Amino acid sequence: MILNWFTLEIKKNATVCLGFILLISSFHSQAQNAFKVLLNSKVEDDKLKKTQAIIPVYKFTSLSIEPYSTFGISDTKNGKNINIKKMPVMEGCTDTAYSFIYFSGIDNTENHGYILAIIGNYNRMFRYTTHFYIDKNNNLDFTDDGLPYLMPFKNDTIVVNLKNAKWPESDYEVKFSRLLFGKNLAYKDLLNEHYKKHSGQKTFTKINNCFREQRYNLCSANFKSPTDSFTIGIKDMNVNALYNDFGTDMIYVGAYKQPIISEDLIEYKKGKTTFEWNEKIFTIIEIDPLGKWIELKEIKNAQITKRLKLCRKVPKLDFANEMSEKHSLKTYRKKHIYLYFFNDDLACLTEDTLYLRMLHDSFGHSIEIIGMNYGDEPRAMRFFKQYYHIPWIIGMSNREINKAFFVENLPKGYWIGKRRRLKGRNYTPLVMYEKANIKFKKKKINPK
């Protein structure tokens, strides 16, 4: 009886220990699958490069200033003004103006949405160094904000650094640039009229005294592993110097070391934010509030939606070659096609070109090879084709074509059967050559 009880207890304890070990192993496995990407640079997206946002400059006349939030409102006489408590010591300044910087990281009951900037030597006619006194803590006291930012006459830009009041280590960059004299005169006339008409009781100076504004609020990194490569970034959309606000801040995932396209931003959702890349699905586990890193995890055995379906027709494809001659995929609908996306930077290009040549020489009567170049200039491809005596078609791909064929990493190859039916995806030239040997019953050739 005692022996049976003792044996039972051992079995129970063993079961508990085994369950505990499996639980620990499960947590350890999950931790191993997750990985952090360090976001080591603030970058421009396509929208930032094109933006023409203006920081209007108003003549300083009183310590009581009409807020920028009344811009465009016809009747502002009964509105509540901002009252400056202490002005900065403006040594070396002959004139004074002010402006507003949109920033929500230091809102308070007195002033929110915009922070105030006092500008000394704003008039460019005198060629003096312009002084920018920024109310960085939004307390309307300009004596406790440190030294002013200086823009000498010969310099065109400065970068202003702001911080979130609750996160002292945060950093938000706004770039001010002077507008060029003698450029875009008709556009400047429209801006002069616009700001004079809609500035309420504020006295607008003139557009040549104003500044172009650009915000460096996108942190990114180029991630590369043995199996994946992409550019990933996070964008502070609500301008508070924090990068993990659900429902407002945005995530970017795009081609490795390629320019960031703002229309590809996705919302950072509460609960679960996922994205597909290179026929894999990743989930975002956590984002550093300061934008220093992002933690990801690949979801195994998930249903992939961003890829072409086998045995279905591939998208229609019209393209120009390196000589700007027009081609269409439907021209070759009675032949098999090997569609190979590449660029000149690929480490495997030499080997791939070797197998493409073998594929052409052995099966050119049955398979049409189309190399779609993405990222290089047509003249570079003209040289490539002539110098290496390339016998197959070289087309110039673009962003729209790549999206239609779900080309996210290079190289990428598709085997397309007759009448544009997809027979295979992610085929390297070597794999395509081996498949062709089987399909068309040719003896395998060793290129070495």
What are the b/e assignments for 156-184, b being 16+ CB within 10 Å? eebebebbbeeeeebebebbbbbbeeeee
At 343, the pLDDT band (50, 70, 90 cuts) reads very high
> What DSSP state is assigned to residue 184?
S
Extract the tokens encoding 190. 């429209």
Extract the tokens encoding 426. 């992610």
Q: What is the DSSP string of 8-77?
A: HHHHHHHHHHHHHHHHHHHHHHHHHHEEEEE--EE--BHHHHH---EE--EE---SEE--GGGTT-S--T
Q: Has residue 169 got a pLDDT over 90?
A: yes
Rounded to the nearest 5 degrees, what angle is found at the Cα of 152, between the Cα atoms of 183 and 94? 100
Higher-scoring residue by pLDDT: 270, 157: 157
Q: Has residue 275 got a pLDDT over 80?
A: yes
Q: Has residue 2 got a pLDDT over 60?
A: no
Which of 76, 134, 77, 126 lies closest to 101, judged by CA?
Answer: 134
Average pLDDT (226-253) is 95
CATH superfamily of 318-439: Glutaredoxin (3.40.30.10)
Exposed/middle/buried for 271, CB within 10 Å: 0-12, 13-18, 19+?
Answer: exposed
Q: Has residue 448 got a pLDDT over 60?
A: no
Q: Has residue 20 got a pLDDT over 80?
A: no
> What DSSP state is assigned to residue 345?
T
Residues 6+ apart with CB under 8 A from 292: 38, 39, 219
Kindly give the pairing relationship between strand 318-321 and strand 293-299.
Answer: unpaired
pLDDT recorded at residue 68: 86
Average pLDDT (328-351) is 94
pLDDT, tens only, 402-427? 999 999 999 999 999 998 999 999 99
User: Could you count the other beta carbons within 10 Å of the beta carbon of residue 146?
Assistant: 9
Average pLDDT (229-258) is 95
Average pLDDT (253-263) is 92
Which of 163, 186, 169, 315 lies closest to 239, judged by CA?
Answer: 163
Mean pLDDT of the chain: 89
Q: Has residue 267 got a pLDDT over 90?
A: yes
pLDDT recorded at residue 447: 54
Q: Which helix (H) or strand (E) holds 158?
A: strand 157-164
Extract the tokens encoding 103. 């920033």
Alpha carbons 98 and 118: distance in angstroms, whole number: 4
Q: What is the DSSP string of 385-413?
A: HHHTT--SEEEE--HHHHHHTT--SS-EE
Q: Is the dihedral of CA 110, 115, 119, 122 positive or negative?
A: negative
To which residue do tokens 């009964």 refer? Answer: 78
pLDDT recorded at residue 264: 93
Q: What is the DSSP string of 111-139?
A: --SEEEEEEES--GGG-PPEEEEE-TTSS
Higher-scoring residue by pLDDT: 4, 392: 392
Per cent of the chain over pLDDT 90 is: 76
Alpha carbons 373 and 353: distance in angstroms, whole number: 13
At 77, the pLDDT band (50, 70, 90 cuts) reads low
- pTM, rounded to two decimals: 0.82
Higher-scoring residue by pLDDT: 78, 115: 115
What are the b/e assignments for 188-223, b being 16+ CB within 10 Å? beebbeebeeebbebebbebbbbbbbbbbbbbbbbb
Kindly give the pairing relationship between strand 367-373 and strand 393-396.
Answer: parallel
Alpha carbons 337 and 357: distance in angstroms, whole number: 14
Average pLDDT (349-366) is 96
Q: Has residue 235 got a pLDDT over 90?
A: yes
Higher-scoring residue by pLDDT: 153, 446: 153
Extract the tokens encoding 388. 């290496």
Per cent of the chain over pLDDT 70 is: 89
Q: Domain locations in the chain?
A: 35-46+217-299, 57-209, 318-439
pLDDT, tens only, 183-220? 889 999 999 999 999 898 899 999 999 999 999 999 99
